[in-house]
Chains A and B, each alone.
Chain A
Amino acid sequence: MKNSRALSLHVPEPRTRPGDAPDFSGVDVSRPGAVPRPDIATDPREIRDLAYGLIRVLDDHGEAVGPWDPRLDADVLLAGLKAMMLTRAYDDRMYRAQRQGKTSFFMKSRGEEAVAVAQAMALDRDDMCFPTYRQQGLLIARGYPLIQMMNQVYSNERDPMKGRQLPSMYSSRETGFFSISGNLGTQFSQAVGWAMASAYKGDTRIASGWIGDGATAEADFHHALTFASVYRAPVILNIVNNQWAISSFQGLAGGEATTFAARAIGYGLPALRVDGNDFLAVHAATAWAAERARANLGATVIELFTYRAESHSTSDDPSRYRPADEAERWPLGDPVARLAQHLTVLGCWSQERQAAQQKALDDLVRAAQREAEAVPALGSKSSSRVTDMFDDVYAETPWHLRQQARELEG
C-alpha cells in the first residue's frame, strides 16, 4: 500500500521553558519504601522492575521507611550531612571566587551532594572512583584537603595538577579519585577496565564510574556496559540523571522513551533507579551494588534521579532555557534539607546545630580560601618555571620538547 500521510520529524522539547510554571507532572515518584530490596544474588532478569521504580527511603516527614533503609548509625548520618554541607559551602565560595575574577571557571554540584557523598561513604576508602566533574563530594567525603581543591581551582603554585587542567578537574590517586577528563563519557569504560584489572589480580577493591544523563548517548556508555557485562567486572556504573545537559533536557538523551536505568536491561545487568536526593536511598543502593561486585557477581547500573539545581558551569545561564524556580519545585526536595530533617526526627539535630555547623563550615572554607589565595597564581609572573609545561607529556622528555622549552625560554 502506498503511504498517503506525510511523515513528520519529532524533536523532543521539555514541558516548560522560561516564563512557564514548572511542570513535574511527568515525574513518576513512587511512595517511599515501596520498592522491594532483592538479595544481591538475584538473577538480573528477575528484578527488571527496579529499573522503572524509584528506590526511596526518606518520606515527607523525614522518617526512614521500607526495605532499603540502610539503618546507618547517627554518627554516619551526621558525617554525611557535614560532608554535604561542606561540599555546598565549598561550591558557593568557589562560585563566588569565579564571579570575582579569581578563577576562570567553576562547576557546582548543588542538589547532587547526596550522590557523591553517600556513595563515597557506601564504598570502601580504597575503591577507585572514575567521576565526572560534578562529584567533588567524593573528595570531600574522603577527607581530601579543601586547600588542595582550591589550589587546583586557582591554578596556583601549589596546584597538584600544575596548572594544566581546567578548574574543577581534580585528580588524586591517593584518594581513589581518577583524573577528570572533561571529555564526556570516556571515564566509564576506563572504570570497567580498572575493575577488570582488580579482578585479574585477585584484588578485593572495586571501581565506581559516574556519567551524566546526557553523556549516556556517547558510545563509551555502550562500551562500558558491554564490557562490564561480558567480563562481569566488579564495577558500579552510575548514571546521574540531573535532568539537564547544559541546556538539553534529558529527553534529548532518550529519557522520553524509557528510564536511563532501563538501559542496563539490554546488557543483562541489574539496574537500580534511586531517588538521588535521598541520602539513605543512595547509600543503600550503592552498598547493594558494592556488595554484589565484591561477591564477584559483576556490575550494577544505578540511575540517580536528581536535579541540577544550578547552572552547568560558571559559563552557563539556565534562566535562558528553563523556568527560574524549577529547582525549588523539584518534587524530590533538597538532599541536605532532607537528611537534616531526618536527623531532627531522630532527635540528634536541630536548627541551632544546623546554623552553628553552617557557620563553622563557612569559616573553614573561608580560611582555606585565604590560604589558597596567598599562594601566587601560576603564569608568567610566578616563580615556578613556565617550561614545566613540557614535563609529563612523556615519561622522559624527548629532544623536540626540550628544544621547544629552550625556544620558549628565549
Chain B
Amino acid sequence: MASMTMIQALNSAMDVMLGLDPDVLIFGEDVGYFGGVFRVTDGLQKKHGLTRCFDTPIGEAGIVGVAIGMGAYGLRPIVEIQFADYIYPAYDQLVSEAARLRFRSAGDFTAPITVRTPYGGGIFGGQTHSQSPEALFTHVAGLTTVVPSTPYDAKGLLISAVESNDPIIFLEPKRIYNGPFDGHHDRPVTPWSRHPASEVPEGYYTVPLGKAAVVRAGEAATILVYGAMVHVALAAVEDSGIDAEVIDLRTLVPVDIEAITASVKKTGRCVIVHEATRTSGFGAELSALVQEHCFYHLEAPIERVAGWDTPYPHAFEWDYFPGPARVAAALRRVTEG
C-alpha cells in the first residue's frame, strides 16, 4: 500500500497494465515524453518504451479512429483526450463506430478501447476546460461511462476499463486529481494523503464496473452522486447535519440500480447531484429510474442539484458550481415534508 493522489493512482493503473499486457498501449496529445498536461502518464514512456506510450497529432477524431482500428486488430489501447471539452471532434467515432461495432458486426469485430479524459470544473478553466459531458455518452447504447471519486477507485476502475471488452468513457474529475475538494472553495484544499481512499495497493486489483459504493450510510435521505460531487455531497451532509446516505455511482451506464433502489426504498427521499447542466443531464435519467423503481416509497419530490443551463462562466465559477450549500438546501427541502 502507498498513499497516492488520483493522478498517481491512475498512473499506477496504467503502469500495471503496461507491465501485464503487451497489447496495452497509451497515446494522446502530450502524453508521451512530457507525461500529459496533468502528469497522469508521467514516466510511462521512459519506463515502458516509446511505442507503449506516445504523443499524437492534435486530432481527437483521429486518435479515437486509430484506437478503434487497433482494437479491431486485437490491442487494448488507452487514449487520453486532453480535456473532455475537446472530445467532440471524436464524437462520431465514439458514437457511430466504437459504440456500435460489436452490435453491427454481430460480434465479428469489437472496440475494447478506454478513452480517458479529465472533466469537470472548479479549476477556473472557462467554458473550454470545465465541461461535464457525461450525458452525451450515457445516452449512447454500447458505451460504458465511468467516473471515479477516489484514488483507490480510480486505479481499480481504470484497470477494469482496460480489461473490459467494450469501449469505456473514463471521465476523470480533474478538480479532485490532487485532493478531495468538497466545494468549499474558500477553505484550504485537503491533500489526498489525509483521505483513507488514498491508500492504494501498488500492484494489480480491480474495482468492478457497474457497481456503486455506499460512501456514507444514512437514514434521512439518499444522495445519488458521482465524481468530484461525492465530496461536495459529503460536505453538505456534514454542514446540514442531515443523516443522508451518499451513493457514489462510479459507473453511470450500466448504473447500479440495485444500490439505488435499496437506498431510496430505505430513506424514501432522494437528491441527485451532478455538476453537468441540468436539462437532459444524467440526473434526469436517475430521477426517472427512481420514480419507476421507488415511487411508492417516496415521501417527497425528487430533487436535482446541477450546474445551471448555461455555458461554464469563467468569472462566476463558484456561482455556477453546485456547492455544498445548494446540496444542503436540497437535502432540507426533501426532508422537511
Contacts and interface: CB of A to CB of B under 8 A. Distances in A.
B225 to A, nearest CB: 20
B57 A226 contact: yes
Contact of A164 (B70, B71, B104, B254): B104
Contact of B59 (A190, A227, A392): A227
Contacts of B51: 200
B237 interface: no
A174 to B, nearest CB: 8
A360 interface: no
A183 B104 CA distance: 12
Given A160-B108, A171-B105, A191-B69, A395 B165 contact: yes
A178 interface: yes
Interface in B54-104: 56-57, 59, 61-62, 65-75, 89, 92-93, 96-97, 101-104
A161 B62 CA distance: 27
Interface in A264-313: none
Contacts, number: 141
Contact of A227 (B62, B102, B106): B62
B69 A189 contact: yes
Interface string A375-405: 0000000000000000011110011100000
A130 B109 CA distance: 12
B106 A164 contact: yes
Nearest to B75: A197
- Among B69, B93, B103, the most chain A Cβ lie within 10 Å of the Cβ of B69
Contacts of B106: 160-162, 164, 171, 392
A339 interface: no
B92 A186 contact: yes
Interface string B102-128: 111111111000000000000000000
Interface string A161-197: 1101100010111000011010100101111111111
Given A189-B65, A400-B254, A181 B97 contact: yes
A400 B255 CA distance: 9
Interface in A205-231: 207, 219-220, 222-224, 226-227, 230
B306 interface: no
B242 to A, nearest CB: 30
Contact of B105 (A161, A197, A207): A161
Highest count of chain A CB atoms <10 Å: which of B62, B67, B109, B110? B62
Nearest to B112: A395
B304 to A, nearest CB: 20
A198 interface: yes
A230 B59 CA distance: 12
B25 interface: yes
Interface residues of A, number: 45
A230 B66 CA distance: 12
B153 interface: no
A227 to B, nearest CB: 5
A179 B66 contact: no
A194 B73 CA distance: 6
B257 interface: yes
Given A395-B110, A400-B254, A193 B70 contact: yes
A224 B103 contact: no
B127 to A, nearest CB: 22
Contacts of A195: 69
Contacts of B61: 189, 219-220, 223
Interface string B155-189: 00000000011100000000000000000000000
Most buried by B among A219, A230, A392: A392
B108 A179 contact: yes
A192 B166 CA distance: 21
Given A171-B109, A227-B57, A400-B257, A193 B69 contact: yes
Nearest to A403: B257
A191 B59 CA distance: 16
A181 B96 CA distance: 8
A169 B104 contact: yes
A130 B69 contact: yes
Contact of A172 (B62, B74, B108): B108
A178 B72 contact: yes
B103 A393 contact: yes
Contacts of A400: 253-255, 257
A192 B66 contact: yes
Nearest to A198: B73
A197 B73 contact: yes
Contacts of B96: 181, 183, 186
Contact of A399 (B102, B104, B254): B254
Contacts of A394: 102, 142, 144, 166, 254
A198 B70 CA distance: 8
B210 interface: yes
A303 to B, nearest CB: 21
B102 A395 contact: yes
Contacts of B255: 400
A395 B166 contact: yes
Contacts of A171: 104-106, 108-109
18 contacts: A130-B69, A160-B106, A162-B106, A171-B105, A186-B92, A188-B65, A190-B72, A193-B69, A193-B73, A194-B73, A197-B74, A200-B70, A222-B62, A227-B66, A393-B142, A394-B142, A399-B254, A400-B255
Interface of A: 128, 130, 160-162, 164-165, 169, 171-173, 178-179, 181, 183, 186, 188-198, 200-201, 207, 219-220, 222-224, 226-227, 230, 392-395, 398-400
CB-CB nearest 5 A-B residue pairs: A193-B69, A223-B62, A189-B65, A398-B254, A193-B66
